[in-house]
Structure 1
Amino acid sequence: MPSYVALLRGINVGGRNPVAMQALAACFLDAGYANVRTHLQSGNVLFDAALSDGAALETALDDLLATAFEVAIPTVVRSRDELADTIASAPADHGSPDLRSDVFFLKRPLTVEAAMGQVPELREGVDSIAPGPGALYFSRVADRATKTRITKFMSMPVFQQMTVWTWRTTTRLLQMLDE
C-alpha cells in the first residue's frame, strides 16, 4: 500500500481544538488505515492506504475527523512521492541557517497559481516566496524575521485552504515515511 502523510490544520494550537495524538492514531486505525503513527502534537499522521487518490483521501479524512472529533479539521494529504517532490523542488537556499523557512501546503482544489495570485507585496530583503508542487515555499531572513509581511497573507481567506509546516518538520516527515 502507498504511504501518505496527513497534515492537519488547526489542532492543538493555542489551546484550540485539542486532539490527543493517541486518539488521532486510533481514529485512523479504526477507519482501516495501516502503519499509522503520529509526529509532534500538532497533527501529522503518517499512514498507509489502499486508496491512491489524494483528493479523495482528503475528503474522506475531513469527514472522518469531523465525525470523530466534532470539529472541522481541514486535512492536506501528500503521498510519500509527492512529499519528496515538494522537498526536491524547493529553492536552493530554502532551509539554510540564515533563513526561517516554511512550506505552505495547499489543500485541494486550491492551485499554486491561485494562491500566488493572492500573495500581498512582501518586504524586500526580508521575505521570499516561491511556487512548488502543491505548495508555496516561504522564507524570511532569520535576523529580520520580525519585519515579515507574511502575516497579512495569513489573515486572508485563501490561507484557510493551507497548512504551514517548518522546513525541518517537512523533511523529517519524509524521513519517517522512508523508515
Structure 2
Amino acid sequence: MTTTYAALLRGINVGGNKKVPMAELRTLLQRLGHGGVGTYLQSGNAFFSSGRGDEDSLAAELADAVERHFGFTVEVLVRDHAYLRAVREACPFPAAELEAKQVHVTYFSAPVDPGRFAPVDPAAFLPEEFRLGDRALYLYAPDGLGRSKLAEALAKPRLLKGLTATTRNWNTVVKLEELTGA
C-alpha cells in the first residue's frame, strides 16, 4: 500500500543558512525510491508517496540523505495525509476568518504533555493564544509570527528539549494537506 507524506525540513533556506535547492531535494527523494515527489515553496516542504517505512523511519532516512548530500544536519519530520488532515480539521481558531499570517501550527516529533508549557502564562500574552493538539501546537498571533511575543516564549529551548519542532503558517498547513491528498 502506498501512502502520501509531507516532509517538513526545519531551518533550511532561512537567512542564507543551510541552503537546500528544492530541485535537489526532489531529486534526493526520488533517489530514495519515492514517487509523486514535489516541493512547496523554498522553506523545506516536500511531498512524496512511499510504500515502505513509517513516518519516523522515512524522516530519519531523509535526514541522513540530506546530511550526506549537503554536508549539514537538518531535522526532518514526516507526516502522512491523514494526520495533516486531522491537524487542519482540529484547528481551535477560526482559521477561515483570519489572515493566514495569524494562525500557525508547530509540528512536534512526539506527543507533548501540556505540563511542558505550564511555565508560559497565557494571560500575559493576550490577545495571542495557543492550544495543543496531536503532536502539534496551534498559535494565534494577530500581528503575525515575527512580532509574536508568545511565539518567542513557546520556542524557548528548555520547553522544546528533546523534541524536533517546526512551524508553518496556515496557508502552508492547508496546502500540504491538499498536496498529500491528491
Q: Percent identity?
A: 24
Write the mapping of 1:51-130 to structure 2, written as runs, cut at 5 A.
51-94=52-95, 96-97=97-98, 100-107=102-109, 110-113=110-113, 116-117=116-117, 120-122=120-122, 123-130=124-131
Contact 1:25–1:45 (8 Å) recurs in 2: yes
The CA distance in 2 between the partners of 1:174 and 1:104, in whole Å, is 15
Q: Cα gap change, 1:23/1:146 in structure 2, threshold over 3 Å: closer, same or farther?
A: closer
Aligned to 2:13: 12
1:41-77 Cα distance to aligned partner (Å, 9 max, x none): 0111100011241111122222121111111111011
* Structure 1 unaligned residues grouped into runs of 5+: none
**What SS does the corresponding residue of 1:105 show, helix, strand or coil?**
strand
Preserved contact between residue 116 and residue 131 of structure 1 (Cα < 8 Å): no
TM-score (norm 2): 0.86
SS in 1 for 2:102: strand
The residue that corresponds to 1:166 in the other structure is 169
- 8 Å contact from structure 2 (residues 4, 181) kept in 1: no
* Structure 1 residue matching 2:65: 3-state secondary structure: helix
The CA RMSD over aligned residues, in Å, is 2.4
CA distance in 2, matches of 1:147, 1:76: 24
Count residues with an aligned counterpart. Answer: 177
Letter in 1 for 2:139: F
CA contact (8 A) 2:125 2:149 kept: no
Q: For the structure 1 residues 112 and 26, does the alpha-carbon distance in structure 2 shift closer, same or farther, using more than 3 Å as the test? A: same
Give, in angstroms, the shift of residue 34 of structure 1.
0.6
Give the TM-score, by structure 1 length: 0.87
- Decide whether aligned partners of structure 1 residues 117 and 142 sit closer, same or farther in structure 2, where only a CA change above 3 A counts: closer
Contact 2:8 2:46 (C-alpha < 8 Å) held by counterparts? yes
- Residues 1:15 and 1:115: Cα distance change in structure 2 (over 3 Å): farther
